[in-house]
Amino acid sequence: MIKLPKGFNYRKVTLDVAETHIRDVLKVNVENWVKFRYAIHVGNNASNLSSNQTIPEPVRDSYRELAKSHYEVVTSIGAAAAVLQRTAQEMHSIEYFAHIKGIYFHFGCTLDNLARLIFIINDPDAPTKKRGTRLLRHWIDWGSLKSYP
């Protein structure tokens, strides 16, 4: 974990186009997500990991999946916010009902990716644990996390 510097301002952190839109246009509060990402130095580059020992490739892969799941959570929340904002303006149209389904979909994606983040961070065997032939971190979702182990 990397300690946040004094005066850390999540609004000054460089984000990609989608995340910037979510933060600045849709006005979704992503402050704690940006802090979390900073603290774990999450990214698609596993060279951020350091150890006195060789870091096994499954651990590096698991670390990279933190970035993917983190990004999926933020963008799914942003997509749901976009649907909610648009829905509020179209309350009397048939599109409203289609948009409501989108909200459920995006929040479902959010929960699935949160479950994956929780699992990878909290289970020391997450990089290698399998269910059958598949890595458990690829298989897990919110419903199965509830009953885990």
- pLDDT given at position 144: 57
Residue with tokens 């598949």: 134
pLDDT score recorded for residue 55: 86
Q: What confidence score (pLDDT) does residue 6 get?
A: 93
| pLDDT value of residue 75 | 92
Measure the CA angle with vertex 33, ends 83 and 72; round to 5°.
50
Residue ranges, the chain, pLDDT below 70 = 43-45, 86-93, 140-149
Give the model's pLDDT for residue 14: 85
Q: What is the pLDDT of residue 99?
A: 75
